[in-house]
Structure 1
């Protein structure tokens, strides 16, 4: 969902540990974001972890997205397992249903669906799998996260589901738009703030080759498994708050959104 000023919100994947295995800085990142994407069990997220994350999100007043995965706990949901449309739909429905039970116990509701890892990329590339994802989003009446210009967006739009394109502010982009996923080293928070402001104001992201690539988005992802995740999230939120203050009057006067933001209306 967009702020009334048109500034996008920040999301982060959470609850990706399992049992005694902790993963990511959930508590450190939560104060700086708007949407918690909670893992639902197939790559991370045992019942106690899901419950803890739901309560944490409630405490911070966050909206909640389900973060389902392919059935690939050993590979953390990143292996290219091939499921058909029906199997993938059932896989997603199973996980989102589990999370929804925990939300109901806390008097909360689900707002979005953001697939994890390989499921995210498969839905972007394969129309039938994008349909499977949207089947569950339609069942629960929620919006879908994805990459703008992919099958995920096309199917969501055709089915009149809210679509939120993502900008990955703490990852580098190749010249062709593909992401470079490296999380071993700390990321400069000043670099994050600079590229976030440029993306929102100018609608572009600088690639590793120095190309200013156009980007459209309605939400900004930060990763809580970076070595300095909470510093990144804090810098992103501060930059976003600066933009919100700077652009509020402009948007009020002209009705125009900053260049980087998708021109869709608010999602519910």
Structure 2
């Protein structure tokens, strides 16, 4: 049976602000990328998210980002490699503390937003992230775009890299994500997102905005929890994957 991981960015609420529908989303995914306080999340939210993942048997990962609450971590911020290393290590350690107290294993790291996009193309940023993950725990999975600088840096650091695709984002012909500023860059229709998820899982491709089929060899598929309609998209994706004979399961040691 074909197996694919289904991950979602979670625990992104903070203070008086609620972002996402974690209670409804958690039972529908196999991996949760939990915000660590820089772009979203706070100590109480992090603890609740870890407990919720434990309740539903969902693998927990750290979701570090730039220090950018106002921009939700989606603005690129000029940082030195040393600053990236320290910030990523700090965020992993913060989530790991809650995992330890709740008896949950920390399984992976996935950078958030602009940090993820920058690491995909900037080798220095990618190496700083990979070094922070490896220095904390070389046994962690690192989620990265296929063929990216982050994938290369993770492999060079001795990490187990899990290639990631997106169910709810439109791709360009070169295999990169369309910028969010472009119309149609987010797939909001549940049927479209489900079809793309199945295409990734079963064929290893996506259909670009220009119509070409683009190879995307991925072991995990992301659905954004902060997009409107995320719960319905996830339900449709799970139904479509099951109908296609695809098992949803977190990454495991081969």
Q: 1:57, CA displacement in angstroms?
A: 0.6
Counterparts of 1:223-242 in structure 2, within 5 Å, are 223-242=224-243
**What residue is the counterpart of 1:116 in the other structure?**
112
Structure possessing the higher radius of gyration over alpha carbons? 1
**What residue is the counterpart of 1:219 in the other structure?**
220
> TM-score normalized by structure 1?
0.86
Partners of 2:2 and 2:155 lie apart in 1 by: 20
Q: 1:207, CA displacement in angstroms?
A: 1.2
Conserved 8 A contact 2:2-2:202 = no
Decide whether aligned partners of structure 1 residues 185 and 222 sit closer, same or farther in structure 2, where only a CA change above 3 A counts. closer
Decide whether aligned partners of structure 1 residues 186 and 115 sit closer, same or farther in structure 2, where only a CA change above 3 A counts. closer
**What residue is the counterpart of 1:32 in the other structure?**
28
Helix, strand or coil at the partner of 1:164: strand
Helix, strand or coil at the partner of 2:242: helix
User: What stretches of structure 1 of length at least 5 have no aligned partner?
Assistant: 248-264
Decide whether aligned partners of structure 1 residues 7 and 243 sit closer, same or farther in structure 2, where only a CA change above 3 A counts. farther
Conserved 8 A contact 1:175-1:213 = yes
Q: 1:266, CA displacement in angstroms?
A: 4.4
**What residue is the counterpart of 1:99 in the other structure?**
95
Q: 1:136, CA displacement in angstroms?
A: 2.0
Counterpart selection for 2:165 from 164, 167, 171: 167
Decide whether aligned partners of structure 1 residues 136 and 244 sit closer, same or farther in structure 2, where only a CA change above 3 A counts. farther
Partners of 2:9 and 2:195 lie apart in 1 by: 22
**What residue is the counterpart of 1:254 in the other structure?**
none
Q: 1:199, CA displacement in angstroms?
A: 2.1
Conserved 8 A contact 1:66-1:112 = yes
**What residue is the counterpart of 2:151 in the other structure?**
153
Conserved 8 A contact 1:44-1:73 = yes
**What residue is the counterpart of 1:257 in the other structure?**
none
**What residue is the counterpart of 1:65 in the other structure?**
61
User: What stretches of structure 2 of length at least 5 have no aligned partner?
Assistant: none
Conserved 8 A contact 2:35-2:46 = yes
C-alpha distance after superposition, 1:107-151 (max 9, x if no partner): 111100000111101111111211111112212231111111011
> TM-score normalized by structure 2?
0.90
**What residue is the counterpart of 1:250 in the other structure?**
none
**What residue is the counterpart of 1:207 in the other structure?**
208
Decide whether aligned partners of structure 1 residues 97 and 104 sit closer, same or farther in structure 2, where only a CA change above 3 A counts. same
Partners of 1:238 and 1:132 lie apart in 2 by: 38
Decide whether aligned partners of structure 1 residues 132 and 231 sit closer, same or farther in structure 2, where only a CA change above 3 A counts. same
Partners of 2:194 and 2:42 lie apart in 1 by: 34
Taking only aligned residues, the RMSD between alpha carbons, in angstroms, comes to 2.1
Query: How many residue pairs were aligned?
Result: 246
